[in-house]
Amino acid sequence: MNKKFTCVDLFSGAGGLSKGFMDVGYDVVLGVDNDETALKTFSMNHGNAVTMKLDLNDHSNLDTIVDFLDGRNIKLDVLVGGPPCQGFSYAGPLDINDKRNFLYLAMVKLTDKLKPQAVLLENVLGMIQANEGLGAKRVIDDFAKIGYKMIPKLLFAPDYGIPQIRKRVFFVGLRDSGEDFEFPPAILDAEHYVTCEDAISDLPSLQTETGDIIRGTELQDYMTAPLTEYQQLMRRNSEKVYNHIGAIPIDKTKKMISLVPEGKNYLALPDEYRCLYKYNEALTRYHSKKPSLTINTGHRSHFHYKYNRIPTVRESARLQSFQDDFIFYGNKTQQYKQVGNAVPPILGQVVAEKLKGYLRSDE
């Protein structure tokens, strides 16, 4: 029988990254975060995995994790994590000394204590691009000191079948290995990217025949059969639609967005309205024939390619490649945050699958 490789997820959030590992057969044993609601989502979607609410700024808390694994006699194969990245995010002020830029040290310390076969750290592009790649250099140097040669790689989500423009940096390091990890190659070219329409056109519109947006109910029926291969995959384990609640826009927003064609933003508005907006992604309507823009944690500025409303949590989750049976908990703001923070599970899957080829099953 094939051994199931064990995996711990630090800064797990809702667990998009480790869901990808789970989906290709890893045994995800633990998720750690300091956000209780995200941990509830993690727990409800990760089988028997345990969750721990810990502040990972405080490294004395890492012993709780070591004791848990010792107590269950679990030898860790892979440590994964997406430490917060606001200090390197182009969406923020890009402060290299931001305290949050050092949260990754919890991953270094835990790796040193547990010596897993491999470690995977995911982060924003700013890590390799801002300040001449200082963030990435810190990560690479700190892991090198404990015997892990981290290989960084920018992965572009659409290349792997995810219907969303999302660029993230992945670092993978192998323990005591002369080998460098080789990332999986792209599986799609730009002509074959999965589009917004491919991803979400089967979900209830939440719009009446006269164009009014409705809220919808907590649990809804699908209105059509799956219309694409991607929709088939998303609905594989699901009979109903959860987390698909419409946000009813105020009249002004509804009027403005109705004037914006697919793929355009507030710049497409008539002169008298355009000056009302400044943020460069304001009132962006997705393009049905393209992947969506990056799903973020706030999500008030992007609109459905067809309807005059923001995408629901479920639509955003689809664009992040979460299958429909992955249910998000908490209020709507918390749900959007969990979705926007996540690594697309399919991206986790492709890296996790490739990683198996480097792991020993006799440990």
Ligand X SMILES: C[S@@+](CC[C@H](N)C(=O)[O-])C[C@H]1O[C@@H](n2cnc3c(N)ncnc32)[C@H](O)[C@@H]1O
Q: Is 55 in the site for ligand X (CB under 6 A)?
A: yes
Catalytic positions = 85
Q: Which is nearer to ligand X, 40 or 287 (CB)?
A: 40
As given in the structure block, the two tokens for residue 196 are: 């917004």
Q: Is 82 in the site for ligand X (CB under 6 A)?
A: yes
- Counting every residue written for the chain, the total comes to 363
Q: Is 36 in the site for ligand X (CB under 6 A)?
A: no
Minimum distance from residue 29 beta carbon to ligand X (Å): 16
Binding ligand X (rule: CB under 6 A), the pick from 343, 346, 347, 352 is 343
Would you state the torsion angle of the CA atoms of residues 63, 65, 71, 72, taken in this order, to the nearest 10 degrees? -160
What span, in angstroms and rounded, lies between the C-alpha atoms of 341 and 166? 12
Binding ligand X (rule: CB under 6 A), the pick from 5, 26, 28, 33 is 33
Q: Could you tell me which residues come within 8 angstroms of residue 203 by beta carbon, excluding any fewer than 6 positions away?
A: 222, 241, 244, 312, 314, 315, 318
Could you tell me which stretch among 11-19, 44-52, 243-251, 328-336 binds ligand X (CB under 6 A)?
11-19
Minimum distance from residue 255 beta carbon to ligand X (Å): 35
Q: Is 35 in the site for ligand X (CB under 6 A)?
A: yes
Q: Could you tell me which residues come within 8 angstroms of residue 80 by beta carbon, excluding any fewer than 6 positions away?
A: 7, 8, 9, 10, 17, 18, 21, 119, 120, 121, 122, 348
Q: Is 56 in the site for ligand X (CB under 6 A)?
A: yes
Minimum distance from residue 261 beta carbon to ligand X (Å): 33
Minimum distance from residue 239 beta carbon to ligand X (Å): 25
Q: Is 16 in the site for ligand X (CB under 6 A)?
A: yes
Q: Is 163 in the site for ligand X (CB under 6 A)?
A: no
Work out whether strand 27-33 and strand 6-10 pair parallel, antiparallel, or are unpaired: parallel
Q: Which is nearer to ligand X, 33 or 202 (CB)?
A: 33
Could you tell me which stretch among 49-57, 110-118, 204-212, 304-312 binds ligand X (CB under 6 A)?
49-57
Q: Is 17 in the site for ligand X (CB under 6 A)?
A: yes
Q: Which is nearer to ligand X, 53 or 289 (CB)?
A: 53
Could you tell me which stretch among 32-40, 133-141, 283-291, 306-314 binds ligand X (CB under 6 A)?
32-40
Q: Which is nearer to ligand X, 61 or 205 (CB)?
A: 61
Could you tell me which stretch among 54-62, 65-73, 163-171, 235-243 binds ligand X (CB under 6 A)?
54-62
- In eight-state DSSP terms, residue 228 is S
Binding ligand X (rule: CB under 6 A), the pick from 6, 7, 15, 104 is 15
Q: Which is nearer to ligand X, 19 or 302 (CB)?
A: 19
- φ, ψ of residue 28 to 5 degrees: the values are -80, 115
Looking at the DSSP bridge assignments, the partners of residue 119 are 79, 173
Q: Is 335 in the site for ligand X (CB under 6 A)?
A: no
Q: Which residue stretches of 245-344 are H helix?
A: 251-258, 271-274, 313-319, 332-341
345: closest CA among 318, 327, 306, 363?
Answer: 318
Q: Is 256 in contact with 249 (CB distance < 8 Å)? A: no
What span, in angstroms and rounded, lies between the C-alpha atoms of 180 and 6? 21
Could you tell me which stretch among 15-23, 153-161, 171-179, 279-287 binds ligand X (CB under 6 A)?
15-23
Buried b or exposed e, range 26-51, using 16+ CB within 10 angstroms: bbbbbbbbebebbbbbbbebbeebeb
Q: Which is nearer to ligand X, 29 or 342 (CB)?
A: 342
Number of residues that bind ligand X (CB under 6 A): 20
Q: Is 257 in contact with 269 (CB distance < 8 Å)? A: no
What span, in angstroms and rounded, lies between the C-alpha atoms of 178 and 339? 37
Q: Which residues bind ligand X (CB under 6 A)?
A: 11-17, 33-35, 38, 55-57, 82, 84, 103, 341-343
